[in-house]
Structure 1
Amino acid sequence: MIDINLIRNNKDWLENKLALRGQKYDLSKIVSLDQQRRQLQQQVDNLRNRRKILSEEIGRLKKESKPFEIYIKEIDEIKIQLQNLEEKLSQITSQLNYELLLIPNIPDEDVPVGFSEKDNKVIYQSNEIPQYDFEVSPHWEIGKNLDILDFDTPAKISGSRFAMLKSLGSKLERALINFMLDEHIKNGYQEVWLPYLVSKESIIGTGQLPKFEEELYKCDLDELYL
């Protein structure tokens, strides 16, 4: 989530940076929501402070056996005001956080500005890309020719656009997984086995929500995401 202070102090700069992603972003709504939230928060804080002062005054008057009913009435009025303001504050805060979560990452200064793959910039290349004197087949053709990739069976099970590795293809997949795990462990990483289902807060932390809400698989009963 983008720091709200960055938007407060550098709204135009941030809009220009986000425009480099190929889409226009108007942060005026966020600025307005932030102003409303701060105003409501100030009102809530003032009322809470006033309620605290009155409570202390009532305590003092009780000890001195002096009338304090007028303060009780004001406290009751403050309670009603606080309920209304806190509800509004909660709504505004939720709206603000939602809008903030929709803002994508800010492009790094080193990222080239472009609108197609032709504008990409090669940062690092390991070894030379091999050149062949024949037409290179795509991986799906190679997989079918070697009988390690099956499209027909998963189409019956799950529908189109699914694939199944089999025989040496399945073994190769497993070997590559183990190879990469072993390599990372050698370099100091710890292997973990995470749950398949995670909370909404966890998905928000990855940046997938709320932008991709409709594209994620969700278990509504437990409010968990795959």
Structure 2
Amino acid sequence: MLQVAFIRENKDLVIERLAVRNIDATKMVDDAIDLDEMRRQLQTQLDSSKSEMNSLSKEIGQLFKSGEAQKANNLKEKTTQLKETIKSGEHELSDTTNALNNVLYSIPNVPHPSVPKGNSDEDNEEIYREGDVPILHGNALPHWELAKKYDIIDFELGNKITGAGFPVYKGKGARLQRALIAYFLDKNTAAGYTEYQLPHLVNEASGFGTGQLPDKEGQMYHVTGDNLYLIPTAEVPGTNIFRDVILNESELPIGITGYTPCFRREAGSYGAHVRGLNRLHQFDKVEILRVEHPNRSYEALDEMVNHVKDILKELNLPYRILRLCGGDLGFTSALTYDFEVFSTAQDRWLEISSVSNFETFQANRLKLRFKNTDGQNELAHTLNGSSLALPRVLAGILENCQTEKGIKIPEVLVPYTGFEYIK
């Protein structure tokens, strides 16, 4: 969430940058400023009433001690009125603060100056491309047909057990899935990220902390009996490790990684473009996230992008990087790079990673701060990225690595799988 002081001091800039998202934020910004002014006035009045109450209480005590009971009782009547004024003021302040927070929760993050204006994913900017698209044999198949041919993923069985979007991995398919998870984690820990095993359900406060609530509430599975949410990504429990934490500047940067299943309702997703592994309700993902000093968070973002690049080079998959336009940028992000793998059998690009800098947007919600060299508390910057999401990486391997002999496993994964081909 944006800091109200930042909005107040940079009103025109905030409105101008949010226009890159195709949002006219004028009313939201004006409402936030007006409610903040009202909140500050109410706080001043309340503080004044409480100060007067304290002075009267001391004066009443002194009057009783000096035997002037009548004067003391007269003043007590005034304190009764003050108590009502204070009670009323506290309610009004609470209502105004809640109204202000509701407005602030509805304002998305301000895009970085490099974010291009645009309406949809068609307006994203390709900034990098690497790898040769393989020429497949004449009998090449899309991954959902390969999964059936080699009996490694059963979509129908998952549909029977749970429903569409919950595949069952079998035999070498399950082994390849496990190999990818181990490989990603090993790459991340070798790069300095500390591995965590994280909860798969989070409470409401965690959802608000990273911005999934209230923006993406309809996309999350809600366990209503306990008011818990199944995680859409390890970003949520991982980043909430630092909720209500004040770090020392010397502790920065912090990098963590974790594997979790991810759960997304993906309501209204139908059609050929979401067949097979292209879009699921449950999938596995390895995440990296960082807590950074504001002065170097964009340097850290570049490091994360290069880290994902290195993984895709080792997997020998053709990929490209897109800078997301304002209309495709996530609610909490200031700048996002998407990685896409080319699926030769489907003749289309598949998104397999997003790497984002949220600047102080999440940290402000989380109250994640560090004590700087001047001894002042300052909001940290948070970043996260997929390293990597498994379904479409797996789809890319199956489709791009298919040969007449079977699916050839990328060389870097063979020590993890124990086999070179799926035949």
TM-score by length of 2: 0.50
- Equivalence map 1:182-221=2 (5 Å): 182-221=186-225
Distance in 2, matches of 1:215 and 1:119, equals 24
Q: Which has the higher strand share?
A: 2
- Give the number of equivalent residue pairs: 225
Q: What's the secondary structure of 2:46's corresponding residue?
A: helix
Distance in 2, matches of 1:112 and 1:16, equals 13
Return the letter of the residue paired with 2:20.
Answer: L
Q: 1:138 to 1:46 in 2, by over 3 A?
A: farther
Deviation at 1:197, TM superposition (A): 2.1
Q: Is 2:124 the counterpart of 1:129?
A: no
8 A Cα contact 1:98 1:210, kept in partner: no
8 A Cα contact 2:223 2:229, kept in partner: yes
**1:88-142, Cα deviation, whole Å (9 max, x unpaired):** 21122112112211221211111222234453323344x3332526687443233
Partner of 1:33: 35
Return the letter of the residue paired with 2:166.
Answer: F
**1:196-219, Cα deviation, whole Å (9 max, x unpaired):** 222211111111111222332233
TM-score by length of 1: 0.89
Two-structure CA RMSD over aligned residues (Å)? 2.1
Q: 1:138 to 1:16 in 2, by over 3 A?
A: farther
Partner of 2:56: 54
Return the letter of the residue paired with 1:56.
Answer: K
Partner of 1:74: 78
**1:119-169, Cα deviation, whole Å (9 max, x unpaired):** 3323344x3332526687443233233322221111122222332222111
Q: Is 2:11 the counterpart of 1:11?
A: yes
Structure with the greater relative contact order (CA < 8 A, sep ≥ 6): 1 or 2?
2
Task: Compare 105-114 and 115-124 and name the one that shifted more.
Answer: 115-124
Distance in 2, matches of 1:210 and 1:203, equals 8
Structure showing greater Rg: 1
Task: Compare 90-99 and 59-68 and name the one that shifted more.
Answer: 59-68
8 A Cα contact 2:204 2:228, kept in partner: yes
Q: Which has the higher helix share?
A: 1
Q: 1:176 to 1:131 in 2, by over 3 A?
A: closer
8 A Cα contact 2:20 2:116, kept in partner: no
- Equivalence map 1:54-203=2 (5 Å): 54-66=56-68, 67-125=71-129, 127-132=130-135, 137-203=141-207
Flag structure 1 segments of 5+ consecutive residues without an equivalent. none
- Percent identity over paired residues: 39
Return the letter of the residue paired with 1:22.
Answer: N
Deviation at 1:8, TM superposition (A): 1.3
Partner of 2:265: none
Flag structure 2 segments of 5+ consecutive residues without an equivalent. 231-423
